[in-house]
Chains A and B, each alone.
Chain A
Amino acid sequence: KAGVTQTPRYLIKTRGQQVTLSCSPISGHRSVSWYQQTPGQGLQFLFEYFSETQRNKGNFPGRFSGRQFSNSRSEMNVSTLELGDSALYLCASSSASGGYGGYTFGSGTRLTVV
């Protein structure tokens, strides 16, 4: 059974640009969540999608957005990048929404903003 796949693994962008990250969940999982991990703030919840609908959203500015497709694949977009957006972005999939089951995480996309 394939795991959660995140692409790309590494990304370097310039301040002011935008970026799109991709996540393919485990087959059959309809919930996809995104997390940001930084040394200072730790792991923080961005948003969760379930069956193409955003179910929950963390406390991040509107520059952070996402979507989910009918095949459950998800993309996360960050516009007008800031230096502070440099982080490891983790995607997690689950068969249930809302965290009632365990999550399977991808290896992450490490974004560096210069």
Chain B
Amino acid sequence: SQQGEEDPQALSIQEGENATMNCSYKTSINNLQWYRQNSGRGLVHLILIRSNEREKHSGRLRVTLDTSKKSSSLLITASRAADTASYFCATVDSGGGADGLTFGKGTHLIIQP
């Protein structure tokens, strides 16, 4: 079953602009992870943020986590055409990961050159 929803479902921006995607989830979590998928291929792990962390950076990526609101956001700065992909958030529940990664439905990001 899906843990939550990404918002928006699709996003189209110009190259060089920033892209922000949001993710909501329903249960208590151990960590939240963001993945990228290009054209139905495998998923690429972008960043993991633990439940006791509020913000994390990796290169052009910035992830925030608000456990009180059960939400996370992914910011991609200075977007490039190569960032065009689907982005998924995935959670690991605090009960020991019995459900594996629980994914949202994803945000399809299109970067216009």
Contact = CB atoms under 8 A, between A and B. Distances in A.
Contacts of A108: 40-42
B42 A33 contact: no
A99 B40 contact: no
Secondary structure type dominating chain A contacts: strand
B42 A42 contact: no
A99 B41 CA distance: 21
B2 A56 contact: no
A106 B97 CA distance: 20
A76 interface: no
A105 B103 CA distance: 14
A99 B100 contact: yes
Contacts of B101: 33, 35, 43, 45, 92, 99, 103
A84 interface: no
Interface residues of A toward B: which range?
20 to 34
B99 A88 contact: no
B31 interface: yes
A97 B106 CA distance: 24
B38 to A, nearest CB: 10
Given A42-B2, A56-B99, A102-B48, A90 B43 contact: yes
Contacts of B43: 90, 92, 103, 105
Contacts of B2: 42
Contact of B41 (A33, A45, A107): A107
Contacts of A33: 100-101
Contacts of B48: 101-102
Interface of A: 4, 33, 35, 37, 42-45, 47-48, 56, 58-59, 88, 90, 92, 97-108, 110
16 contacts: A35-B101, A35-B103, A37-B40, A43-B88, A43-B103, A47-B100, A58-B99, A92-B101, A98-B98, A99-B30, A99-B101, A100-B30, A103-B33, A103-B45, A105-B43, A110-B40
